[in-house]
Structure 1
Amino acid sequence: MTSSTSPQAHSGAADEEHLAALGYSGELHRHMGLWSNMALGFTYLSPLVGVYSLFAYSLSVGGPPSIWWLVIVGAGQLLVALVFGEVVSQYPLAGGIYPWTRRLWNRQYAWLVSWVYIWAIIITVTAVTEYASVFVGALFDIDPTPTITFVTVAALLLLALAFNYSGTRMLGRIARIGLTAELVGVVALGLFLLIFKREQPFSVFFDPMGAGGDAAYLGTFLTAALAGLFLFYGFEACGDVAEEVEDPTRQIPKAMILTIVVGGVSGLMSYAGYVLAAPNLQAIVDGTDTDPIPTILKDALGTAGSKVFLVVAVTAFISCVLSLQAAGSRLLYAFARDKMLPGSPWLSKVSAKHAVPTNALLVVCIVPMLISLFIWWRPDSLTRVTSFAVLGIYVAFQAVVLAALRQRLRGWKPAGLWTLGGWGMTVNVAALAYGIFAMILLVRPADAPAFLDRWIVLIGLAIVMGSGLLYLLIARPDKGSSDVAEGDAIEVAAHLRQIRAEAGVDPV
């Protein structure tokens, strides 16, 4: 006798059974496959946005050898992604960082980590839309006054909200469009510059060209680490929408790895292309040319070609904002679903028609808009306001890595359908070592005369973490949370193995 039930139906039933074993019933629709999920992470990572934003700065700090930070950080973040892959494969839950840290440690730990992470996402949304306004202005030949910038930021946020509100299927579709735009903007353009517009020899990547002056170059090179550290995150967004992905326990780890590998290669090709096509590279290194990419593009592509690139770039920026909003809203939804926030019933509301957390999406749209309104009032505050974001994301990432290592030392063997097997402990330790090294680089004092500007990154983290800890101690939001389990990695692993043994399903 043959069954009329499709493989997709079997997979869907297994996904819901896994979700039920973790204490939840599905409210969201599983409309994302592997490529839509990877596109979401890739457009959040956005090598086009990252390379453009940091190109001139990294060259002025460390010279052409700064490019090697893309390789170093890419390798380190791949280790983190592998750890995340094992965690999400056992816990394919919406919100990513919050449920992972809760189930690997406890609700108090998860609350503080998630508080830091949600603010990091909100500030990142603000920073990306602020940078995007520059591209929009250039596309339409509009001077980026503070008022024009704020209006553009508000329009981009509302456009992303409209797409996100339309449902997971639309989110995946726009993410795939953004992925295509990114690949055209970084890979195709990078190859074009490398092959047809090269002005510099490849040996330039081993020549500091005077960056750092007479000081030992090691310190200069370490300062240039931001070239990579600001680029390689976003892959965790693949896990934020876990309850909207088909076969998430297998597909999300693959999507995370693809995000890092494809994003890393794309960013490397783009950065290298810009360096080698720069007609006056020394001026960029010396800091006299602070916005060189438009000049490089106009020289290589002409005025019309530059406009085409701007259309591609604006598309990539919109997709990046869309992905950031989606990731932040799912974190808020997961947080509120467990009654861990004020107004949890309102924040956890899911649209009956589109199956998306509408109110959480609204928050991740409105709060960045309010921050941008403050920046409109104080235009010189953009760097100070947004400097905390990357460190906050790295802190949240390493909180997951540390919690996973803690459970491994207690005997946890991940029981998702995607595992590292015997390599798990080694990769986990290496990922934590890399993360500590990266955070040390991020909190190093900036080269600025004022105390506030020298230590702004660490001050920002202290303010966000301190306020979260204070609220946790006074209001005790963890006391009113649901009965969902915490710190149960070992028990859940045993339970899942038993279920799969009975069903004859093996990990891969």
Structure 2
Amino acid sequence: MTDQRVSRGSAGPGADVAEFGYTQAMRRGTRSFASFAVAFAFVSIATGIFTTYGAVLQSSGPAGIWTWPVAVVGQLMVALLFGSLAARIPVTGYSYQWVSRLANPVLGWIMGWISFTFLAIVVVAVDYTIASTVLPVLLNYTGTPGNAWWITAVVLAGQALLVAFSTRWTERVNNVAVTAELVGMLLLVVLLLVVGAIMRGLDFSNLVSTGSISHEGYFSFGSLLHVGPWMMGTLLGSFTIVGFESAANLAEETEQPARVVPRAMAQAVIASGVLGFAFLVAVTLLAGDPVALAQSATPIADVIARVLGPVVGTALLIMVVVAIFACGMVILMTGVRLVWAMSRDARFPGHALWSRISPRFGTPLAATGLVFVLGELLLAIFAFQTDALFALFSAATLLPSVIYAATVLLYIVKRRDLPPSKGFTLGRFEVPVIVLASIWLVFELLIFRDVVFLSSWVYVAIMVAIGAVYLGWLLARRGGTAGLAMPDMHSVDAELEADAAKAGAGV
């Protein structure tokens, strides 16, 4: 359904989806800050650090926080390459669209399916953080798998309602939440350091402490099935600094997407990296006994409450809850847009239903319901596992690593054949960015050889198997790969110039 309210003249370069074989189906209203807010909210340093800091204390000790800058630089290189692709093919569906059009539709479908499995699991991982690591301290109750389950289910339902019924209100809520997170996290860092200094509670030895982890072999790469302690700490940044590409998945709702989206992704990684590391340093300086803190299910919240007291600590923890809610909401919205994009091309199971845009709300209403129901099912599966949170965030770290690696490999192979950029280019920095991104992604993928990620690989294997069955059926039904051809990419400007030439020639 074409949205007649769209003003194509004001949408900016790269905004006309007709160039990619589509008609405008959703209203363009996402501007620069909203695009940045989407990318920043998905990354959500509050969510990632609250979720993984305790696990890093256990696997790597406090010194594990020094893996954060490595992850930030690596993910920034990936974001720059994604920005280069987004400036060339600014269409909803991001990696699914890029791989389908630049490689082939079968590989594109596989990439889309892997992206879908990532988004489905990560929204549950993020929402579970509220119930398992923040609310027990904020409301002073004992967290159990049972209450974590129903609280997460309610949070997921609230996010789905916003995404289903109003993109405008979803963005407004997210803009407010991101602003609060930026201001709140900065304030939190300052308060922790100032109060900690006044209390003489800053312990600089914690910054180089390995906690209960032996110094021997600390920086080793480990063995075939085990990862070294410091290398394992990289999960802190790997889990947190992901999702910046969500801005690209709203390309068809963004004004001037070829210019806005690449900048939004890079800015989100930089802002998250700098502010997140400052927060990690502040918390680690005030960790007290890191070995004892590692035993807590809510280490970050414990430090905040102990140092800042109940009043300030409570206010800042409320900010964290808002930030995590926004993070989950953006992830849900990103998953919905991917389902809609694949369904629009008749590539997703039940696509006839999921491709519909609600004439009343202007949103993919049915697709929202699908992602919500799947999230609740995954939550039920993981809810009563004793290591549920680790299993969730491990799977949610493995999948984007695979997506990023495959997309960067595509970029390397196809970079000389890419369509012209409409708003962002790496220029002479392209090769150094490719080299750094490749080194980082190989290093990151090597982490997942550790046996502790077995459940994550099992989840991936199950979802891939389901996808393989559907892909086989799709290929058989459509007579092979020719039946999965993407809508043609063509230059609208070239067509207009050709028409003008014909008219001038009197044709």
TM-score in terms of structure 2 length: 0.87
How far off its partner does 1:99 sit? Answer: 0.9
How far off its partner does 1:371 sit? Answer: 1.7
2:426 corresponds in structure 1 to 420
Deviations 1:136-165 (A, max 9, x none): 344334443444322212211111112112
Pair 1:106–1:479, CA change in 2 (3 A): farther
2:341 corresponds in structure 1 to 334
- Residue of 365, 373, 383 corresponding to 2:372: 365
How far off its partner does 1:396 sit? Answer: 1.3
The AA in structure 1 aligned to 2:51 is S
Deviations 1:352-371 (A, max 9, x none): 12221111111111111122
How far off its partner does 1:232 sit? Answer: 0.8
8 Å CA contact 1:333–1:348 kept in 2: the answer is: yes
Deviations 1:182-219 (A, max 9, x none): 22442210122123314234464234355235334333
Do structure 1's residue 133 and structure 2's residue 131 form an aligned pair?
yes
The AA in structure 2 aligned to 1:133 is A
Distance 2:384 2:212 in 1: 38
How far off its partner does 1:63 sit? Answer: 2.4
Distance 1:415 1:9 in 2: 19
1:63 corresponds in structure 2 to 61
Do structure 1's residue 245 and structure 2's residue 254 form an aligned pair?
yes
1:354 corresponds in structure 2 to 361
Distance 2:47 2:389 in 1: 17
TM-score in terms of structure 1 length: 0.87
Pair 1:79–1:478, CA change in 2 (3 A): farther
Deviations 1:206-246 (A, max 9, x none): 34355235334333211221121111101010111111111
Pair 1:85–1:13, CA change in 2 (3 A): closer
How far off its partner does 1:388 sit? Answer: 2.0
Pair 1:416–1:312, CA change in 2 (3 A): same
- Residue of 432, 435, 439 corresponding to 2:441: 435
Range with greater deviation from structure 2 (60-69 or 84-93) = 60-69
1:11 corresponds in structure 2 to 10
Range with greater deviation from structure 2 (432-441 or 99-108) = 432-441
Please, which runs of 5 or more residues in structure 2 have no aligned partner? 1-6, 221-227, 499-507
Pair 1:255–1:369, CA change in 2 (3 A): same
Please, which runs of 5 or more residues in structure 1 have no aligned partner? 1-7, 447-453, 503-508
Range with greater deviation from structure 2 (37-46 or 302-311) = 302-311
How many residue pairs end up in the alignment? 478
8 Å CA contact 1:443–1:457 kept in 2: the answer is: no
The AA in structure 2 aligned to 1:72 is V
Distance 2:495 2:266 in 1: 27
8 Å CA contact 1:250–1:417 kept in 2: the answer is: yes
Pair 1:458–1:145, CA change in 2 (3 A): closer
2:278 corresponds in structure 1 to 269
1:38 corresponds in structure 2 to 36
- Residue of 55, 78, 81 corresponding to 2:79: 81
8 Å CA contact 1:194–1:272 kept in 2: the answer is: no
How far off its partner does 1:413 sit? Answer: 5.9
SS of residue matched to 1:330? helix
8 Å CA contact 1:415–1:497 kept in 2: the answer is: no
8 Å CA contact 1:70–1:268 kept in 2: the answer is: yes
Pair 1:220–1:140, CA change in 2 (3 A): closer
SS of residue matched to 2:418? coil
Deviations 1:463-495 (A, max 9, x none): 332332343234428938665347x7xxx6xx4
- Residue of 213, 216, 227 corresponding to 1:214: 216
Distance 2:388 2:288 in 1: 33
8 Å CA contact 1:93–1:243 kept in 2: the answer is: yes
8 Å CA contact 1:193–1:276 kept in 2: the answer is: no
Do structure 1's residue 168 and structure 2's residue 167 form an aligned pair?
yes
SS of residue matched to 1:194? helix
Pair 1:86–1:476, CA change in 2 (3 A): same
Pair 1:386–1:294, CA change in 2 (3 A): closer
2:323 corresponds in structure 1 to 316
SS of residue matched to 2:266? helix
8 Å CA contact 1:158–1:365 kept in 2: the answer is: yes
How far off its partner does 1:264 sit? Answer: 0.7
How far off its partner does 1:256 sit? Answer: 0.3
The AA in structure 1 aligned to 2:187 is A
How far off its partner does 1:23 sit? Answer: 0.8
Deviations 1:328-375 (A, max 9, x none): 000000000000022111001111122211111111111111222233
1:400 corresponds in structure 2 to 407
8 Å CA contact 1:408–1:425 kept in 2: the answer is: no
The AA in structure 2 aligned to 1:368 is G
Pair 1:50–1:84, CA change in 2 (3 A): same
Distance 2:208 2:385 in 1: 40
- Residue of 49, 53, 58 corresponding to 2:51: 53
The AA in structure 2 aligned to 1:369 is E
**Superposed counterparts of 1:370-389, under 5 Å:** 370-376=377-383, 381=388, 383-384=390-391, 387-389=394-396
Q: Provide the aligned C-alpha RMSD in A.
A: 2.6
The AA in structure 2 aligned to 1:437 is F
Pair 1:61–1:196, CA change in 2 (3 A): same
The AA in structure 2 aligned to 1:10 is G
How far off its partner does 1:386 sit? Answer: 5.3
2:313 corresponds in structure 1 to 306
- Residue of 218, 225, 234 corresponding to 2:234: 225
Distance 2:213 2:230 in 1: 9
How far off its partner does 1:312 sit? Answer: 0.9
1:111 corresponds in structure 2 to 109
Distance 2:440 2:494 in 1: 35
8 Å CA contact 1:78–1:257 kept in 2: the answer is: yes
2:467 corresponds in structure 1 to 468
Distance 2:476 2:433 in 1: 34
How far off its partner does 1:263 sit? Answer: 0.8
How far off its partner does 1:127 sit? Answer: 1.2
8 Å CA contact 1:197–1:300 kept in 2: the answer is: yes
How far off its partner does 1:404 sit? Answer: 1.6
Range with greater deviation from structure 2 (264-273 or 474-483) = 474-483
**Superposed counterparts of 1:144-155, under 5 Å:** 144-155=143-154
1:505 corresponds in structure 2 to none
Distance 1:83 1:114 in 2: 18
How far off its partner does 1:74 sit? Answer: 0.5
2:179 corresponds in structure 1 to 180
Sequence identity percentage:
26
Distance 1:310 1:187 in 2: 14
Distance 2:206 2:149 in 1: 39
